[in-house]
Amino acid sequence: MRKIRIQKIFYLIALVALGACNNEDQNPPPVDPGSEVAVNRWIQEVMDQVYFWLDDMRTPVAETSAPEDYFESLLFRPTDRFSAIYPDYQELINSLNGVTLESGYEFILFRESQNSDNVIAEITYIKKNSPAESAGLRRGDIIRTINGQQMTADNFQEVLDDISSTHTVNFLRFNEEAEIFEDQGEVELDAIQLAEDPNFLDTIYTVDDQKIGYVVYHFFAPGPGSGSTAYDQEMDAIFAKFKAESINHLIVDFRYNGGGFVSSAVNLASLIAPGVTQNDIFSKTKYNSFLSGFDDFQNVQTPFRTKAQNLGNILSGNRVYILTSSRTASASELIINGLRPYMDVFLIGDVTTGKNVGSIPFEDEENPQNTYGILPIVTQSANSQDESDYTNGFTPNITAREVEERLKPFGDINELLLRTAIAEITGQSPSDRINKLSRSDLGSTLDHKVRTGRMIENIKFEKN
């Protein structure tokens, strides 16, 4: 992580501007380090230096307010949709690296029928080495109750709170031969501290003489803990295999990828963009009016990396296919935008979230009694051609929403998004007739992940 020291020159400016104020105003008396006032003064100090919308920051509520309320009062809403505060900095960092207390499954919520208030959950994926995997749950299973309680439009948010500890689920599974859902009974799921590997699936298909590499990547993290690059190395190995097998098409599945660390986005983009090296620009970064006064924060450019596993010019038509959903955000969109000056980026799925701004996690290193962590918006990104206007999301070249069909396993060539991409590559429409479902997405467990909607910059500020 790159470290940058900044001098707090705004204090000097404040001393000149407020020369008539008394010394007590300029040097407030010390407070209990465990108090809310201490936390809120730290929040204000950080925000006064790094908040991207510094010139539009709001007037705060009282210093004695709860830190969550104090932080929220400063934010430039509704423009700022993403700044957040967390009561435990270490849990924040763990979550960004995919380490959380859970049972290891994600799902999307729907009304049971158009005329019912009952809510059901369809499992979207199961995590490796998790209690959910051990219990035999699969993508496409339907959860009817949690801890014996039927979810409804009014209570499902409260019921979902139960899945962070040991709980039971009653679920159904689709019988392909009988074409009906069958009751699978109830299973108990423990909650464990699980380190999720974002490299979910990779495979190579040969269809009509076309060799297609497919990789499913759920979030951007270099590794499971501080200093680890295990996940980035796994991705390197995947692309080394793709390159050795001479694929001529690449499909990258970001449908559930809500973002993560910029460093891993740079790593992945450096594997895809044709023949790029550290001499080519991946992205440009803009800071607020205060930080932009320092040389280190002017004309900031992030280069690609020189990677031996880079696919070079083997992709047909210099095109990459990216599968998206409304939950594709932040670092995923950074890759879409960063690759566009170098190749044809063909999107299949739904309109993405639309987040071109990034965060840096902050902790109070001087006060061990302050456990809070904050993720304020600090940066705005653009690609090498200074293109940055995608706050309304990227519109797909082909629209395909997986909620319109019963979910099939990841990697199944009849799964909607993958099927659509393969059809586009081969020019042949799928032969199977698929029954379309009429249902609305009410939300997902992914919406509550700390990493969702995050683009985490690899910079650490140090006081000087």
| pLDDT, tens digit (0-9, with 9 covering 90-100), for 58-68 | 999 999 999 99
Q: What angle do CA 275, 276, 281 make, to 5 degrees?
A: 160
Residue 441 scores a pLDDT above 90: no
Domains and CATH numbers, the chain: 2-80 (no CATH), 101-194 (2.30.42.10), 196-434+450-463 (3.90.226.10)
- pLDDT surpasses 70 at 276: yes
Burial class from Cβ neighbours inside 10 Å (0-12, 13-18, 19+) for residue 8 reads middle
Q: What is the pLDDT of residues 36-50, one digit of tens each?
A: 999 999 999 999 999
Q: Reply yes or no on whether the pLDDT at 454 is more than 50.
A: yes
Is pLDDT at 7 greater than 90 in this prediction?
no
**Per-residue pLDDT, 438:** 81
Please write the tens of the pLDDT for every residue from 428-440. Answer: 876 556 678 888 8
Q: How far is CA 79 from CA 16, 53, 194, 209, 450, in A?
A: 32, 9, 34, 48, 20
Q: Looking at residues 301-326, what average pLDDT do you find?
A: 98
Surface-to-core class of residue 48, CB atoms within 10 Å of its CB (0-12 exposed, 13-18 middle, 19+ buried): middle
How does pLDDT run across 343-366, given as a tens digit for each residue? 999 999 999 999 999 999 999 999
Question: Residue 17 above 50 pLDDT?
Answer: no
Percent of the chain with pLDDT over 70: 92
Confidence at 24, pLDDT banded by 50, 70, 90: very low
Task: Show the CA angle centred on residue 75, arms to residues 373 and 351, nearest 5°.
Answer: 90
pLDDT at position 391 is 94
Checking if the pLDDT of 5 tops 80, the result is: no
Which pTM value belongs to this model?
0.92
Give the Cα separation of 229 and 307 in Å (integer).
15
Q: What is the pLDDT of residue 22?
A: 41
pLDDT digits (tens, 9 = 90+) for 111-148: 988 888 899 999 999 999 999 999 999 999 999 999 99
DSSP string, 112-181: SSTT--EEEEEEEEE-TTSHHHHTT--TT-EEEEETTEEEETTTHHHHHGGGGSSEEEEEEEEETTTTEE
Tell the residue number behind the tokens 């080495």, with chain if given. Answer: 129
**Quick one: average pLDDT of 251-257?**
98
pLDDT in tens, 169-211: 999 999 989 989 999 999 999 999 999 999 999 999 999 899 9
